[in-house]
Amino acid sequence: MLLSAIGALEFGFAYTTIFCMIIMTVAFSEMVKLQRMHQNEVKIVINSKIIEWYFFACFQLLLIPKTWLTLPILQKSGLAPEPGSFIHAFCYEYHSLAVFMLLTFGVILFVVSLQEGFYSYQFRMLGWTLLCAILIISGCQGLLLALWKCRIWFFYTVSCVTVHNAIDYLTCHFFPLRTPMLILKPEATFEGFTAGAISCFLFFSIVVTYLIDLPWFMQVANRITFLPFDNTSHSLAQ
């Protein structure tokens, strides 16, 4: 995982973003499948998959222009939409209103999709979809926001997850006390989670003093480019 992140970072900010977007989409798809029941879906005219991906797109539209695909970075890249154009108005000038209208339409679409005999299942799927969308998309978009602010924050996040998982695994298997923590993951323990969290803090406290002195980690994106290994698209953070 850590090597994949470093490789994506070396390719460029745009490729790292694409890499994260793909992982986010796959994660959302797999999570919503956990509650989906095929025997119910075949009997519903507007099945849950349409509702799921509609809200997924809405949350993406809500966060992308506010996190990493901002108007200033587009202007520096020469990709900014013309003022007064539909894209400029929809994604930036009246962005909040546009997303609100789309979400409202999504709620209406859900109400229209309700079928007698499946109310409980459909409401459960809606709740699960919104929960997955909020947690997965906000987390990944926050990670991308950190990436476009400074490369070190993306590396720190991925490396901390790696350290946490490694220490958690070792603690769960070799520590004498094992207090179960999660139903979805029976091997997870409170001791492992705590040890992993402490390890993340110690890891960052120790290595950050060395990482900030390395120019590779302190790069900030200046513009969007799809040219691999383009060193002119980023500069050293001030």
Residue 185, pLDDT > 70, answer no
Mean pLDDT value of segment 23-43:
91
For residue 114, give the nearest of 125, 104, 103 by alpha carbon: 125
Q: What integer pLDDT is reported at residue 2 of this predicted model?
A: 66
For residue 125, give the nearest of 183, 38, 58 by alpha carbon: 38
Distance of CA 170 to the CA centre of its chain: 27
Q: 13: how many CB neighbours lie within 10 A of its CB?
A: 26
Taking the C-alpha atoms of residue 156 and residue 164, their distance in angstroms, rounded to an integer, is 12
Residue predicted with more confidence, 155 or 114: 114
Taking the C-alpha atoms of residue 53 and residue 36, their distance in angstroms, rounded to an integer, is 13
Residue type, 38: H
Q: What integer pLDDT is reported at residue 140 of this predicted model?
A: 92
Strands 234-236 and 219-221: antiparallel
- Per DSSP, the three-state class of 189 is strand
pTM over 0.75: yes
Taking the C-alpha atoms of residue 59 and residue 149, their distance in angstroms, rounded to an integer, is 21
Residue 7, pLDDT > 70, answer yes
**H/E segment holding residue 235:** strand 234-236
What are the pLDDT digits (tens) for 109-146? Answer: 999 999 998 999 999 999 999 999 999 999 999 999 98
Minimum mean pLDDT range among 21-30, 50-59, 85-94, 147-156: 147-156
